[in-house]
């Protein structure tokens, strides 16, 4: 018996010594610095944003379909009824949640790149505006961060102005994802939705439109700034019909966030991309960024490159219910000149050289 007790005492002493040694080792190990913690928070904030835009709609749809065949089918039935009842809400200003726009995670999202908003002129709350957002890039990071989140101070720079950002109407047909989009102030890029904001929602509305759209993303690559704008005149016609002022904006650094495999014009891969774009409304890009664990690895996260969005001078536009083609062309040319002026005045301040040019197709 004494032998057994002595053995147990020896084991307990050994266990206590092992625990003490482990604790000393743990306490002696270097703890992550505040800088490391901030870097991980920034990386996670970008990760949740990328996953939300790439997977939230599809995963939610598949989950609701799966629930139909389980005892939880009432969840799918109730949500389907809700979507039918709420079908037109995206076309009528959406359902913004100011608390989500002020979500702390967006500050980490902003600081990851970082993203900066630059104001050049005041915007009066007594008017409505169409802000042309250029370039499209791959995921429109600059437009989202500046016009949808409050992290860059849009509300403080432009008091009394409510920013909205337009995106593909098909995104608002996906369950749960539509609620996520509307909560931040996104709306469909349709005449009905934009017309509602410019004529039936009072004044002080600024509707940001990424004019180049999906087609422009195919030309997105570092060192080359190409905009698809020459034949995009619908936004000018809408501005004339509603008397909304036109405001150019440019996000310097947007094209540096990803690397894209660009297929030459006339190649079979390029033709597949263009056909897919005509059918689905967006172009399938072959791109890559950094990985989750290392900057040197490849993945789907954007590279940390500074983005500076410069909002230019508002261009006064008269209200004409049925503008002629000549009138639309005139204001379209004025808008292009204003955008070129904005680009040339600020390009050397935000990473480009004096010889860099803005190509408009």
Helix (H) or strand (E) holding 145: helix 141-147
Confidence of residue 19 (pLDDT cuts 50, 70, 90): low
Token match 């408009």: residue? 360
Q: Looking at per-residue confidence, does 215 or 153 come out higher?
A: 153
CB under 8 Å to 104, separation ≥6 — which residues? none
- 10 Å CB burial of residue 100 (0-12, 13-18, 19+) is middle
Least Cα distance to 137 among 52, 225, 54 occurs for: 225
- Taking phi over 0 as left and psi of -120 to 50 as alpha, with beta for the rest, 186 belongs to beta
Q: Is the pLDDT of residue 298 over 80?
A: yes
Q: Is the dihedral of CA 323, 211, 112, 224 positive or negative?
A: negative
Q: What is the pLDDT of residue 54?
A: 87
Helix (H) or strand (E) holding 132: strand 129-134
Q: What is the pLDDT of residue 5?
A: 42
* 104-107 contact pairs (CB < 8 A, 24+): 105/45, 105/48, 106/45, 106/145, 106/149, 106/150, 106/151, 107/151
- 10 Å CB burial of residue 32 (0-12, 13-18, 19+) is exposed
Q: List Cα–Cα distances, 68 to 48, 61, 349, in angstroms.
A: 27, 11, 55
* CB atoms near residue 125 (< 10 Å): 16
Rg (CA), the chain: 26
Q: Which two tokens stand for residue 352?
A: 């480009």
Q: Looking at per-residue confidence, does 10 or 234 come out higher?
A: 234
- 10 Å CB burial of residue 44 (0-12, 13-18, 19+) is middle
What is the per-residue pLDDT across 91-130, written as a single tens digit (0 to 9) for each?
Answer: 999 999 888 888 999 999 999 999 999 999 999 999 999 9
What is the per-residue pLDDT across 303-360, written as a single tens digit (0 to 9) for each?
Answer: 999 999 999 999 999 999 999 999 999 999 999 999 999 999 999 999 888 888 888 9
How far, rounded to the nearest angstrom, does the alpha carbon of residue 186 sit from its chain's CA centroid? 10
Across the chain, mean pLDDT equals 88
* CB atoms near residue 133 (< 10 Å): 27
The three-state secondary structure class of 295 is coil
* CB atoms near residue 35 (< 10 Å): 8
Least Cα distance to 219 among 257, 252, 261, 275 occurs for: 261
Q: Is the pLDDT of residue 11 over 70?
A: no
d(CA 27, CA 11): 24
Q: Are 217 and 249 a contacting pair, CB within 8 Å? A: no
Buried b (16+ CB within 10 A) or exposed e, 334-347: ebbebbeebbeebb
Mean pLDDT of 283-290: 77
Q: Are 220 and 177 a contacting pair, CB within 8 Å? A: no
* 276-280 contact pairs (CB < 8 A, 24+): 277/214, 277/215, 277/218, 280/170
């Amino acid at each position: 018996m004494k032998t057994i007790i002595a053995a147990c005492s020896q084991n307990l002493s050994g266990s206590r010594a092992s625990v003490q040694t482990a604790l000393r080792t743990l306490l002696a190990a270097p703890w992550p610095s505040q800088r490391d913690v901030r870097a991980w928070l920034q990386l996670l904030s970008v990760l949740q944003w990328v996953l939300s835009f790439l997977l939230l709609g599809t995963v939610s749809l598949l989950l609701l379909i799966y629930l139909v065949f389980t005892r939880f089918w009432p969840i799918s039935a109730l949500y389907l009824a809700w979507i039918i009842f709420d079908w037109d809400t995206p076309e009528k200003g959406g359902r913004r949640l100011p608390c989500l726009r002020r979500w702390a995670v967006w500050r980490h999202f902003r600081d990851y790149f970082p993203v900066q908003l630059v104001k050049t002129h005041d915007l009066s709350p007594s008017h409505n505006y169409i802000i042309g957002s250029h370039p499209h890039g791959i995921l429109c990071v600059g437009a989202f961060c500046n016009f949808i989140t409050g992290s860059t101070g849009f509300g403080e720079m432009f008091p009394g102005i409510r920013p909205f950002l337009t995106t593909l109407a098909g995104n608002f047909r996906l369950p749960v994802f539509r609620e996520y989009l509307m909560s931040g102030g996104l709306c469909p890029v349709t005449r009905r939705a934009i017309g509602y904001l410019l004529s039936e929602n009072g004044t002080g509305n600024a509707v940001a439109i990424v004019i180049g759209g999906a087609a422009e993303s195919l030309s997105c690559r570092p060192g080359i700034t190409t905009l698809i704008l020459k034949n995009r005149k619908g936004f000018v016609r809408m501005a004339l019909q509603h008397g909304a002022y036109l405001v150019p904006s440019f996000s310097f650094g947007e094209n540096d966030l990803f690397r894209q495999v660009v297929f030459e014009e006339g190649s079979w891969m390029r033709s597949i991309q263009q056909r897919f774009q005509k059918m689905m409304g967006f172009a399938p890009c072959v791109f890559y960024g950094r990985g989750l664990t290392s900057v040197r690895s490849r993945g789907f996260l954007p590279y940390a490159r500074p983005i500076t969005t410069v909002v230019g001078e508002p261009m006064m536009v008269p209200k004409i219910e049925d503008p002629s083609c000549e009138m639309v062309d005139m204001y379209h040319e004025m808008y292009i000149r204003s955008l070129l002026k904005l680009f040339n005045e600020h390009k050397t301040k935000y990473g480009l050289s004096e010889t860099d040019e803005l190509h408009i197709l």
